[in-house]
Amino acid sequence: MRRIVVLGGLGFFGHAAVLRLGADGVPAIVAGRSRRAELRVDAEDPASLQSALRPGDVVLDTAGPFQYRTTALIETALRIGVDVVDISDSLGYALRVRSLKPRIDKAGIRVLSSCSASSAVTAAFLRHARVKDHAHLRVWLAPSPKVTANLGMLQSFMASIRRDIQVWREGALATVRGWSAAGSLELPAPVGRITGRLVETADAAHLPPVCPTLRSIEFRVDTRVTGANLLFRVAVAVPPVRTAIAWTLRPSLAVARLLGAESGGMAAEVFGPTGARTAWALVAPRHGYLVALAPAVLAVRALAEDKFPHRGLVPPHKQVDPEPLWKLLADWGIAMQPLA
């Protein structure tokens, strides 16, 4: 079995990945900048990466927020021959990685970017949908902040608040105001009704090339923290409010854990060219965040055992097959349910 290195392995998602892989008999090395890490490495320092990684390693990159990451890890992987799986949700990072596609494909390494809720799970929803010529995709994220609130998550939220973001509309990237266009959807218990607003998503980069009939992609998020949706709405209109939130991110974590919801998950609505709709949800009482982690766990396991068939920059619809993904999530207590 190949060596697995989890960057950000002491963080929320990295630690969860190490535990889930270990439970399957797939040991992983906890890597990061902290002295507590088994392998000291800085994901943004080429010299550090070059020193810590070995040819043939499988790297699971959970060191977010990816909105602020460079491609230093991918560049190192190209030089020494390392496979990389990341859980990025960032459109900017997706575009930066995509610019390296010719070099990645030529090198023959595997890079699975956004092997997470965005975009591996959304691609699996599209493959599962019995809709011909997918025209529109609307994704809803219902985080469980009482369990998952962390600095990276809040920074990811803030990247779309009162800023121009890019979304896929009318078959092209379009600029809109982040945290706009409110909508609501009823999810199965215990989540219930959520109200989501637009955020930027890696789906806008990853999905159109593999599903060229898609005319629009929306990714909507509900904070799931009492009062936070209203506060963010005010921040969109009043710049000083956004500034105040940005300066108080760390204290806000305690508030999110105190007032945030414990249940969570995600849902997707897929529309055909005539408006025909099919929709599903993945929800859990407490561990909904595992929806974002499941594709990466499956992919890393396959890579470590040399059972992953693809090479190059692997598009999201080839990162994981839907049925094994749904089965793993069901084993973790997260069943896919159809929506009316």
Q: How close are the terminal C-alpha atoms of the chain, in Å? A: 44
Whole-prediction pTM: 0.92
How crowded is residue 175: how many other Cβ atoms within 10 Å of its Cβ?
A: 9
Rg (Cα) of the chain, in Å, rounded? 19
The yes/no answer on whether domain 4-116+291-338 falls in CATH 3.40.50.720 is yes
In sequence order, the 6+-apart residues with CB closer than 8 A to the CB of 30 are: 6, 9, 10, 14, 15, 18, 37, 38, 39
Residue 250 confidence (pLDDT)? 67
Q: Cα–chain-centroid distance for residue 73?
A: 18
Residue 180 confidence (pLDDT)? 83
Residue 65, class by beta-carbon neighbours within 10 Å (0-12 exposed, 13-18 middle, 19+ buried)?
Answer: buried
Structural domain boundaries of the chain?
4-116+291-338, 117-284
The dihedral built from the CA positions of residue 337, 170, 127 and 64, taken in this order, carries a sign that is negative
Residue 254 confidence (pLDDT)? 75
Question: H/E element holding 197?
Answer: strand 193-198
Specify the length of the chain in residues: 340
Residue 241 confidence (pLDDT)? 62
Residue 249 confidence (pLDDT)? 60
Residue 50 confidence (pLDDT)? 97
Closest CA to 116 of 269, 320, 313, 287: 320
Residue 239, class by beta-carbon neighbours within 10 Å (0-12 exposed, 13-18 middle, 19+ buried)?
Answer: exposed
Fold of 117-284: Dihydrodipicolinate Reductase; domain 2 (3.30.360)
- Supply 247's token pair: 């300066």
The answer to whether residues 268 and 138 touch, using CB atoms and an 8 Å cutoff, is yes
Residue 151 confidence (pLDDT)? 65
What does pLDDT average to in each consecutive run of 10 residues of the chain (340 residues)?
A: 96 95 95 96 97 98 93 98 97 97 98 97 92 91 83 68 87 91 93 93 96 96 79 67 63 72 94 93 92 97 97 98 96 94
Residue 286 confidence (pLDDT)? 87
Chain position carrying tokens 């990025």:
88
Residue 296 confidence (pLDDT)? 98
How crowded is residue 229: how many other Cβ atoms within 10 Å of its Cβ?
A: 18
Distances 55 to 86, 113, 184, 261, 340 between C-alpha atoms, Å: 18, 19, 47, 43, 49
